[in-house]
Structures are given as C-alpha cells and as structure tokens.
Amino acid sequence: MDFRPVDQKDKDEIIRLIDSIFHEYGDRVCLDKADSDLLDLSAHYEHEAFMVLENDGHIVGTVALQRAPDRPLTGYLRRMYLAPTLRGGGHANRFMIWAMGRARELGMTRIEFWTDTRFERAHAFYRKIGFQHDGTVRSMNDGWDPYDEYFFAIDLQE
C-alpha cells in the first residue's frame, strides 16, 4: 500500500470511500454542503496536508490537516477514514503519527476536530492516543439529515 499526498485526480475515489463509510451509518456524502471540500482538494488543503492510502489503484484511507484560519498554531484534523477491512490494522496510528508530525512541521501546537457521534470505534481510538473530548456536542444541519458531533483536541508535546 502506498501512503502518499493527495492528487486532485483522487477526488472520485475519495468520495467513493467516504460515501461507503457514511452508508455504514445510513448516511451519504453531501457534496453541496458538508463535504464540498472534496470537490476541490487543492483549494482547501495546504501542500501535502492531505494524504491517501492507496491499494491496487483504489483509495482505501484518507487523513487531512487544515490550519485554523483564526488560530495559526491550531490544526484541524479532517477526513480521517479507513476502509472497513483495514480498521484495527495499525493504519489509523500511522495516520495520526503523520498528522501530529505534519502539524509540528507547520508550527502548530494543537490539533482539534469534530467527529460524528455515531463513530464510536473512532472515538475510542482518539481517546486511546490522548485526544480529549470535553463534553461539547454540536448539532449540524449541513448534510442530508441532521446529525451531532463531538469535539476532540490534543495539545502537541515538543
């Protein structure tokens, strides 16, 4: 498997992967609103701040980092998804090592993100590696159906 920076030509494969994961929860990608960043990856992510895991020509995992526009020392973890057959195999750890390292390279000292409340297995993973959920929940209406998200954050150590 190849872990590499995203290319705009990966767009359709990325959308397919994320849509298939959303289907596990009875949902689907909403390119008009919540998932519109997937249509123009280079416009939304700094150079080499969106990585894909590719296997036999198919995107099977994604992870991205965005700088918070109002807080340059804070990064937002985005688009962390793995095909079901790869979960629990160490790839999520690889993604987080990359994200934390890339954040440090870009001068960030903190990573934050919001995650759908339905992604319980992911929440356990995030807590295991040190991310904290402070109890904050927000309700979203930018998808096909309303959903809720939990807030997670970690301060990066030097």
pLDDT (tens, 9 = 90+) of the chain, 158 residues, equals 999 999 999 999 999 999 999 999 999 999 999 999 999 998 998 778 999 999 999 999 999 999 999 999 999 999 999 999 999 999 999 999 999 999 999 999 999 999 999 999 999 999 999 999 999 999 999 999 999 999 999 999 76
| pTM, rounded to two decimals | 0.94
What is the spatial distance between Cα 50 and Cα 59, in angstroms, rounded to a whole number? 13
Q: What is the pLDDT of residue 40?
A: 93
Contact 152, 112 (CB under 8 A): yes
Q: What is the pLDDT of residue 158?
A: 63
Distance, CA of 41 to chain centre: 13
Q: Quick one: which of 146, 25, 7 has its CA closest to 84?
A: 25
The two three-digit tokens of residue 82, written as one number: 């793995």
Give, for 144, the enclosing helix (H) or strand (E): none
Domains of the chain: 2-155 (3.40.630.30)
What is the spatial distance between Cα 132 and Cα 115, in angstroms, rounded to a whole number? 12
